[in-house]
Structure 1
């Protein structure tokens, strides 16, 4: 089985986080102003994808996290005159000359709107046809399977996988109760619901990557 990508939408229907693993056709970078800063370097507008960490307002800084045991903010000395440590997760995407993937021809901001539009339409259809007790959890095409997990606070976790994959709702819930609560909700330095920034915290992204890569369904 293959896990392709992960989207997180807030209660305002805005994509606040994106990450992918096995996409053979990547979206084009979003247009300027099309997505929030710090959603993902891989799909940020070209003016924000040049490795300049300042556009992320320090969200990738080591001080912007919590101790998993005490819940206290872990602050470290800022590195004056030096760049933040480079990690594979936060490096700029490879150039088109070296990238092994091709483009979908669709800008990421348009793709994110289409994904959310499909979820909203199918959810409304399920409620009208089956009643309010029914929930839309996934759908499958010949090319992929879309899985949805919605929290009480209105956040939607969306994962695209192989069409033959089993339900990924338990994985999406693990992401919510684990990395999301620890590095986003309980982090006082992350402005929730601000409509100004995504949630591309370096520790949050690295934690999701470890969780997904450690799954038995991940090749």
Structure 2
């Protein structure tokens, strides 16, 4: 089983944290106007695609198709031909899609099954999405390969462990901020260690 990426959304429906591991189509950097510091470690993209291609940040979303575009920054292969790099959704647009899917499916489950049922996951041929909601309306979302069992317990462990320790109980972290994400190196390192320590990580 493979774990692809982790999103955390606050009660304002805003992404406050993102980290990925095994994505074959990693997220593309957002434009500077949509860049919220602390959410991820991707630098904001420049006005043209060529600048992001130079440092490898032109990436493709798992929610987009396989279209590619030629990069005109001089990136060449051994035959001095232009190389084609994948181009997909910027991070801010992908985050909106992820949250929109969660909101829509959660509302559908409540309407069809009643208030006692809860939406926790869904699968496609490419990935499986796992959801854990906290009492304070933070939403932890994990994308893994479609063959995985439920990983809500992993998200709950992240919440009761690193998130409470390094985010909620840390007075230096601006919780519920509308202008920046969870910018905490200890939390990011703890999440990385926790995920890589799982038997199903790779």
Q: Structure 2 length as normaliser, TM-score?
A: 0.80
Q: CA deviation at 1:194?
A: 1.8
Moved over 3 A (4+): none
2:118 matches 1:107: no
Cα contact 2:32–2:44 (8 A) shared by 1: yes
Paired with 1:192 and 1:33, the residues of 2 have a C-alpha distance of 22
Paired with 1:10 and 1:108, the residues of 2 have a C-alpha distance of 16
Task: Describe the SS at the equivalent of 1:6.
Answer: strand
Q: Aligned-residue CA RMSD in angstroms?
A: 1.8
- 1:75 aligns to what? none
2:69 matches 1:95: no
- 1:37 aligns to what? 37
2:169 matches 1:186: yes
Q: Residue deviations 1:140-163, cap 9 Å, x none?
A: 000000000000100000000000
Q: CA deviation at 1:94?
A: 8.4
- 2:72 aligns to what? none
Q: CA deviation at 1:214?
A: 0.4
Task: Describe the SS at the equivalent of 1:125.
Answer: helix
Structure 2 spans left out of the alignment, 5+ residues:
47-52, 57-74, 76-84
- 1:196 aligns to what? 179
- 1:173 aligns to what? 156
Structure 1 spans left out of the alignment, 5+ residues:
48-92
- 1:146 aligns to what? 129
Q: CA deviation at 1:129?
A: 0.2
Paired with 1:95 and 1:114, the residues of 2 have a C-alpha distance of 26
Aligned length: 170
Cα contact 2:18–2:39 (8 A) shared by 1: yes
Residues 216 and 94 of structure 1: CA distance in aligned 2, closer, same or farther (over 3 Å):
farther
- 1:4 aligns to what? 4
Residues 103 and 178 of structure 1: CA distance in aligned 2, closer, same or farther (over 3 Å):
farther
Q: CA deviation at 1:104?
A: 4.7
Task: Describe the SS at the equivalent of 1:33.
Answer: helix
- 1:69 aligns to what? none
Cα contact 2:131–2:152 (8 A) shared by 1: yes
Q: Residue deviations 1:160-190, cap 9 Å, x none?
A: 0000001010000000000000000000011
Paired with 1:175 and 1:104, the residues of 2 have a C-alpha distance of 31
Q: CA deviation at 1:33?
A: 2.6
- 2:49 aligns to what? none
Structure with the greater relative contact order (CA < 8 A, sep ≥ 6): 1 or 2?
1
Cα contact 1:15–1:35 (8 A) shared by 2: no
